[in-house]
Amino acid sequence: MKLRNLLFAPADSERKREKALESGADAVVLDLEDAVGPDSKDVARKAVADLLPGRARHEVIVRINARGSQWYLRDLAAVVPGAPMAVMLPKCTGLPDIVALDHHLEVLEVAAGIEVGRIEVLALVTETAAALHGLDYRGAPTRLRALCFGAEDLSSDLGITPRGPDGHYGAPVQQARSALLLAAAAAGLPALDTPFPDPRQPDALAREAAEAARDGFAGKLCIHPAQIGPVAAAFTPGAERVAWAQRVVNAFKAQPDAGVVSLEGQMVERLHLRIAQRIINAAGPS
């Protein structure tokens, strides 16, 4: 399952839900959190619970409300029986939040007759300044699938705008972005980049997505269907790069005990093998 482009849709809007589910995004995030006001939480939760069971399309993620909110457990109890692909945990403050969520999901999976561990977790781990002190997810439960970068909420917590007039992040947000990438690499998890806020700027989106792919992100969160194509293109390796990666993999298969192999006159190390495998995974089928 690829996670190049995850499209958000407010769970309390039938029109936007259906448009997202028909969009062709790698996965759709039905949002019970920021996109839904307090008076609409119950309606949105029921809509998702009614939608999930028996869907032909399984790439559905539900963003629940934060742990500790009055809606968190109600969200889980409602959506787990429908077996979404994953839940997205916002405002994650560290590994203890993931461990607690893992236990809650485990109990609810057993109660619903679902295989334990089937529902994965994506975590938004940079939405507050305090959360940046808990960016160590090594040894997390195996259902944790990816770490997600959230620039807008973090900027609000800091009392700043996330991007300057030139479109680049301010120093605190850039530092958090780098820390997220390092934390994801240390935990052996993919990192997903923050949404680009303005669907009317496709060139700026394409530039930001390309920079994210270059820096090591595996995908990007999206807030509009028009963003899906450019983001997918940015995170899909070109044919020439895939061909190089396959040659590297084949060279090490031919010499499985080698630490270094010669490829087209150049010395290739095992660090290049890891890069090659990542490229092939990114280009492979869903």
Strands 260-263 and 266-269: antiparallel
Of 210, 86, 22, nearest in space to 76 by CA: 86
Give the residue extent of every domain in the chain. Answer: 5-234, 239-283
| Total-model pTM | 0.89
Name residue, tokens 């052996």.
188
**Burial of 267: CB neighbours in 10 Å, binned 0-12, 13-18, 19+:** exposed
Residue 153 labelled as part of a binding site? yes
pLDDT in tens, 102-141: 999 999 999 999 999 999 999 999 999 999 999 999 999 9
Query: pLDDT > 70: what percent of the chain?
Result: 97
Does residue 20 surpass a pLDDT of 50?
Answer: yes
Single-letter code of the amino acid located at 206: A
pLDDT in tens, 211-237: 999 999 999 999 999 999 999 999 988
100-116 burial, b at 16+ Cβ within 10 Å, e below that, comes to: ebbebbbebbeeeebee
Going by CATH, does the domain composed of 5-234 fall within 3.20.20.60?
A: yes
